Amino acid sequence: MTRWNEKTSRALIEETHKRGETLTMALRALVDTFGYVDEAAIAPLMQTFARSRAEVLGVIAYYDDFRTTPPGRHVVRLCQAEACQAVGARELTAHICAKTGLSLGQTSDDGALTLEGVYCLGLCANGPAALIDDAPMAELDKDRLDAKLAALKL
Amino acid sequence: MTARVYIPADMLSLALGADEVAKAIAETAKAEDTDIDIVRTGSRGACWAEPLIEVETDAGRVAYGKISKNDVPGLFDAEFLQGGTHEKSLGLTEDIPYLKNQQRFIFKNCGLYDPCDIDAYEAHGGFAGLRVALQKSPKPITEEVQISGLRGRGGAGFPAAIKWRTVLGAEDPQKYVVCNADEGDSGTFSDRLIMEGDPFRLIEGMVIAGFATRAKNGVIYLRSEYPIAKTVLRKAITRAKAAGWLGTNIKGSGRTFNISLFVGGGSYVCGEETALLESLEGNRGIVRAKPPLPAYEGLFGKPTLINNVITLCAVPDILAKGGAWHASLGTGRSTGTMPFQLSGDVKYGGLVEVPFGMSLRALLDDFGGGTRSGLPIKAVQIGGPLGAYLPPRLFDTPLTYEAFAALGAGLGHGGVVVFNENTDMRAQARYAFEFCAHESCGKCTPCRIGAVRGAEILAKDAPDLALVEDLCEVMIDGSACAMGSMTPVPVQSAITHFPDDFAAQPQKMAQ
Ligand SMILES: Cc1cc2nc3c(=O)[nH]c(=O)nc-3n(C[C@H](O)[C@H](O)[C@H](O)COP(=O)(O)O)c2cc1C
Ligand code: SF4
Ligand code: FES
């Protein structure tokens, strides 16, 4: 992830617009680059895409992928959907929540870890599944997940 | 002779360490001064055996299943490069019963070669359908699709040809073909496997759809949870353009078709076609009122064909082999094959492409092999989060659109999730409401509020089931899309088939 900066942010927004792409794509570019949409990017987004502040904020709020605060340095996204439930995703989620003291959607105070739920990663035949910093994980159990977390050196 | 080793690089295999395996094999071969050629492929869809690696031998490809990097020294000791026997040997890939007993055409090449190797695609019959389409005007292409009986594989099972014809008939210089690659249904991964494993098939299907409707622009709406598919599709689109199968003046025909890729934002409802269009236009994914149908007024108000990935991937063979060939597969009005996806507590999870008509029990027993845990099966959920929970006594139902509609259920996108006897069906019903509450776009009150109330009621120690029933009625009648109108399907089927789980009982707090 790149640290947020005005210049890159503006460039990303302008490039998206020049390519004839829409607001959702500009938000995607910002989130892929910085991990979130900074408040200072809202005004340029409004201007470039001729949208009100409420519209821009509404679009950001609608999508699970878009956020307005920086995520933790590491992001663990655990699948919560049915095929993973069938092989213990609920228990695994309870385990990691208890271990980290976070509930889904929260970031630790030191900014090291964000825990999120996700609804299916397409790894359903080999659940429970997760994404850890965008790397896919499957056939998880408590031990494997603990080992992966330990490797992050939170 | 240089030994050739095939190692999958799809998202699941990567999750299970396929890159480490490839690295270990390359390093060991180098240390032993052995020439090898490692080809990274898509997945064969035998998810239970991933990472499944293969070696080319005179007798055919020999497979080794569930390989980790720790197995690599042993594989070399067993002379696997010559097809030697090892405790993880699966024999000749083509003889593995799980694969041999399928009847694949959509997935027949998945896992055979580097997904972005356009020459390999062509050598395996790729672009034969598009070649036929290049010789035809739009109407005969659509007629072939009509004869095939192809129905949409995204969930609703709507006849593809009707949509195609409507878009063709809508006069407008600007039209779109949108591929729905949002694959939001839990328990489904066929779109992912084909996009990661044989992307040119999707591209070919989209170009044919473009020719058939006189649309020049295509968009793939890909869910953000599929990063590998994004990389593979990008590369494949570039290569298809370079080879003249995409872009302006395709293969000298004077016809044009372009494809762009759009990555979604993590919303289930954006898989609904009109919400998807809103999302593409840069808005919140709020479902549009129909009419107008997207075929008349779709993306940016222009006539738009929207089809699922698998629907479009069935098209090349329909053109190459004829619609009648496709119609001869399956039963009744469920023609062709369906790539079912087995997941959850199942021993042999993975992709099973078979003609419609096999019984659910045969799918679960002959392919699934029972549960991974060894416990008896309590229920399966078919067709994603809006699909029914069915008990074993209904497992003899044939897998056809008609038979499942008669049960008040559906096949959806072909996901089959297995639950063992320890499953609390009330928790599953409650989850269906919670998921709806989380994903609802908010347009209809019964969906937005009903789902929240439903989850609350089912969280009570003694749930008022009559009230749940009333709520479901209101949601069915008063919702603009299937999110609201079909959330009652898992709820009501769970209550009907597993009444004991809904008796008064202390409930754990929600997380
Ligand atoms: C809530 C909801 C989610 C949907 N999600 C998907 C999806 O992820 N993929 C898909 O192809 N169709 C999905 N659909 C169905 C689409 O609205 C549409 O019917 C389909 O894309 C049409 O393509 P087909 O005719 O080829 O199936 C969804 C529908 C609803 C109501
Ligand atoms: S049923 Fe739900 S998701 Fe569908 S349009 Fe209505 S509120 Fe939106
Ligand atoms: S349900 Fe968890 S990966 Fe699909």
Residue A111 shares a structural domain with residue A47: no
| Ligand 3 atom index nearest CA of A138 | 3
Among B10, B12, B413, the strongest candidate for a mutation testing the A interface, having the largest count of A CBs within 10 A, is B12
Specify if A127 maps to a domain.
Answer: yes
Strand order across the beta sheet in which B60-64 lies:
B36-41, B3-8, B53-57, B60-64, B89-92
Q: Does B509 score more than 70 pLDDT?
A: no
Closest CA to B280 of B208, B176, B191, B174: B176
Specify if A121 maps to a domain.
Answer: yes
Nearest-angstrom CA–CA distance, B127 and B133: 10
pTM, entire model: 0.97
The tally of domains found in chain A comes to 2
Structure tokens at A40: 């200072």
State whether B349 and A124 contact (CB < 8 Å): yes
Which contacts of B65-74 are long-range, i.e. CB under 8 A and separated by 24 or more positions? B65/B90, B67/B21, B68/B16, B68/B17, B68/B20, B68/B21, B69/B17, B69/B20, B69/B21, B69/B23, B69/B24, B71/B21, B72/B21, B72/B24, B72/B25, B72/B28, B73/B28
B344-354 residue pLDDT tens: 999 999 999 99
Closest CA to B48 of B26, B63, B61: B63
Nearest-angstrom CA–CA distance, B77 and B71: 10
Residue A93 shares a structural domain with residue A140: yes
Q: Which residue of B has its CA nearest to A93?
A: B511
To the nearest whole Å, the CA of A8 is away from the closest chain B CA by: 21
Residue A79 shares a structural domain with residue A122: yes
Model confidence band, residue B507 (pLDDT cutoffs 50, 70, 90) = confident
Cβ–Cβ < 8 Å for B389, B380 = yes
Which string of DSSP letters, residue by residue, matches B400-452?
Answer: SHHHHHHTT---TTSEEEEEETT--HHHHHHHHHHHHHHH--SSSHHHHHHHH
For chain B, domain boundaries? 3-100, 118-327, 330-420, 425-502
Nearest-angstrom CA–CA distance, B430 and B452: 10
Residue A17 shares a structural domain with residue A42: yes
Q: Is B72 helix (H, G, I), strand (E, B) or coil?
A: helix
Residue A118 shares a structural domain with residue A90: yes
Helix axes B488-497, B425-439, angle to 10 degrees: 170
Helix (H) or strand (E) holding B8, with range, is: strand B3-8
Q: State the ipTM, two decimals.
A: 0.96
Q: Give the helix, strand, coil percentages of chain A, each rounded to 5.
A: 50, 10, 40
Instruction: Specify the CATH number of the domain B118-327.
Output: 3.40.50.11540
Which single residue is written with the structure tokens 């593809």?
A: B160
Cβ–Cβ < 8 Å for B179, B312 = yes
Residue A78 shares a structural domain with residue A23: no
Report the share of chain A in percent with pLDDT over 90.
Answer: 97
CATH number of the domain within which A81 lies? 3.40.30.10
Domain boundary among A62, A90, A106: A62
Q: Which residue of A has its CA nearest to B12?
A: A123
Specify if A68 maps to a domain.
Answer: no
- pLDDT of amino acid B510: 47
A68-126 residue pLDDT tens: 999 999 999 999 999 999 999 999 999 999 999 999 999 999 999 999 999 999 999 99
Cβ–Cβ < 8 Å for B293, B287 = no
Cβ(B276) – ligand 1 distance below 6 Å: no
Architecture of domain B3-100: 3-Layer(aba) Sandwich (3.40)
Specify if A107 maps to a domain.
Answer: yes
Specify if A69 maps to a domain.
Answer: no
**What's the mean pLDDT in B314-318?**
98
- pLDDT of amino acid B511: 41
Other beta carbons within 10 angstroms of residue A91's beta carbon come to 13
B406-421 residue pLDDT tens: 999 999 999 999 999 9
Residue A21 shares a structural domain with residue A54: yes
Q: Residue B365 gets which letter from DSSP?
A: I
**What's the mean pLDDT in A127-144?**
96
State whether A83 and B14 contact (CB < 8 Å): no
Please determine, looking at this structure, whether the domain spanning B425-502 carries the CATH number 3.40.50.300. Answer: no
Specify if A142 maps to a domain.
Answer: yes
Nearest-angstrom CA–CA distance, B440 and B426: 21
The parent domain of residue A53 ranges over 6-62
Residue A140 shares a structural domain with residue A103: yes
**What's the mean pLDDT in B292-316?**
98
Residue A50 shares a structural domain with residue A108: no
B409-464 residue pLDDT tens: 999 999 999 999 999 999 999 999 999 999 999 999 999 999 999 999 999 999 99
**What's the mean pLDDT in B1-30?**
97
B211-256 residue pLDDT tens: 999 999 999 999 999 999 999 999 999 999 999 999 999 999 999 9
Specify if A67 maps to a domain.
Answer: no
- pLDDT of amino acid B426: 97
Report the share of chain B in percent with pLDDT over 70.
Answer: 99
Nearest-angstrom CA–CA distance, B193 and B354: 16
Specify if A1 maps to a domain.
Answer: no
CATH class name, domain B330-420: alpha beta
Residue A107 shares a structural domain with residue A53: no
- pLDDT of amino acid B508: 67
Q: In chain B, what residues touch A24 (CB-CB under 8 Å)?
A: 265, 279-280, 282-283
Residue A84 shares a structural domain with residue A131: yes
Cβ(A79) – ligand 3 distance below 6 Å: yes
Fold: same for B118-327 and B425-502: no
